[in-house]
Amino acid sequence: MRKRNSSRAGVTLIEMMVVVTIIALFAALVLPKMLGQADRARKTAARAQINAYMTALGSYKLDTGIFPTTEQGLQALRVKPEAVTTWQGPYLQRDVENDPWGHPYIYHYPGEHGDEPDIISYGADGQPGGDGNSADIVSWKN
């Protein structure tokens, strides 16, 4: 007859619970930081896109003497509007993109915040106002 080995192979339920608890604690501490980085990256990308559009709008105005109207929108940076004769574009190398949350940028000219156009990303919720990830990102504030 075979003798049983006193040390068992395998894992006990308590050992498994300890491992699962450690993994859960690690996820609870690390995941929120990782998600916060992604949200911060989206906000930074939206600011960068708005700055790029404002730079292109400056070039457009130098050539045409005026910013595109609200109706012409940011698309006037890629496609020549009918009534504009001194257009030298395209002023953007790629098509106008949505914000990092997939919503179109809001463009107004004349703007309500000075002599330049207003460009707005409504953030994660796609609605005016909000705070945190849903805060508006606007061209007139850095």
**Predicted confidence (pLDDT) per residue in 90-107, tens digit:** 999 999 999 999 999 999
Which has more confidence, 14 or 76? 76
Global pTM exceeds 0.85: no
H/E stretch holding 102? none
Contact residues for 45 (Cβ-Cβ < 8 A; gap 6+): 100
- Is residue 60 within 8 A of residue 76, CB to CB? The reply is yes
Torsion of CA 40, 45, 50, 56, to 10 degrees: 160
**Predicted confidence (pLDDT) per residue in 111-129, tens digit:** 888 889 999 999 888 888 8
pLDDT score of 22: 86
Q: Return the CATH number of the domain spanning residue range 42-138.
A: 3.30.700.10
Domain boundaries, the chain: 42-138
How many angstroms from the chain centroid is the CA of residue 139? Answer: 14
Report DSSP state, residue 83: T
**72 has pLDDT over 80:** yes
